[in-house]
Structure 1
Amino acid sequence: MTRIILQGFIIVPASDLASVKSELIAHKSLTLQEPGCLTFVVTPDKINPHKFNVYEEFENQTAFESHQARVKSSRWGEITKNVERHYRINKGE
């Protein structure tokens, strides 16, 4: 099977920053419980308080697509609708 790796960052508008920080804990927990999630790390940037670095690994395309679908219909998806996403998606071994 081919792993799917997403790397990059998000930029959160000042008006959404408190909500995003608050909901991030639940989002991480729910994602790590998803079938096929191998790694899910979101960390605040050390320089820019509006930037969060993202690294995700899923065991296959199906698990990644399931995650994306869950996020779109979740509270996290609602709270982050104004967030700028800057991602690279790669396939690993």
Structure 2
Amino acid sequence: MLAKVILQGFIIVPDSDLEVVQSELVTHKTLTLEEAGCLIFTVNPDDVNPNKFNVYEEFVDQTAFNNHQTRVKSSKWGEVTKNVERHYQISNGV
């Protein structure tokens, strides 16, 4: 059995990009959850910091995760989050 890939952490969105990132987030979540191999995908606003979004993703395997990363780079989400600070840990779950 292949190990699933888990990404967890958070992003920090600059004030100047906050509105566009929030508006694009709904589409980003929908498209990601429709991807083959996506098990869980959540991006939620932090309770304290309005510029912080907590991220948790699970994909069935490395290939599904890589396909997601490739799609995101060329998506509208990739464009609107180019100035975002990303703080992620990636691990393999069993």
Percent same amino acid at aligned positions?
68
**Gap runs ≥5 in structure 1:** none
Distance apart, 1:68 and its partner CA: 0.1
Q: Is structure 2 residue 65 aligned with structure 1 residue 68?
A: no
Partner of residue 10, structure 2? 9
Q: Counterpart in 1 of 2:44?
A: 43
How many pairs does the alignment contain? 93
CA drift of 1:28 comes to 0.0
How large is the Cα RMSD of the aligned pairs?
Answer: 0.2
Distance 1:8 1:46 in 2: 15
**Structure 2 residue aligned with 1:87:** 88
Could you say what secondary structure the match of 1:25 adopts?
helix
Structure 2 runs not aligned, ≥5 long: none
When the two structures are superposed, what TM-score results if normalisation uses the length of structure 2? Answer: 0.99
Q: Distance in 2 between matches of 1:25 and 1:58?
A: 19
Cα shift at 1:34: 0.2
The one-letter amino acid paired with 1:37 is C
Using the alignment, how far apart are the partners of 1:74 and 1:57 within structure 2?
20
Moved over 2 A (4+): none
Give TM-score, length-normalised by structure 1.
1.00
Q: Report the CA distance between 1:7 and its aligned residue.
A: 0.2
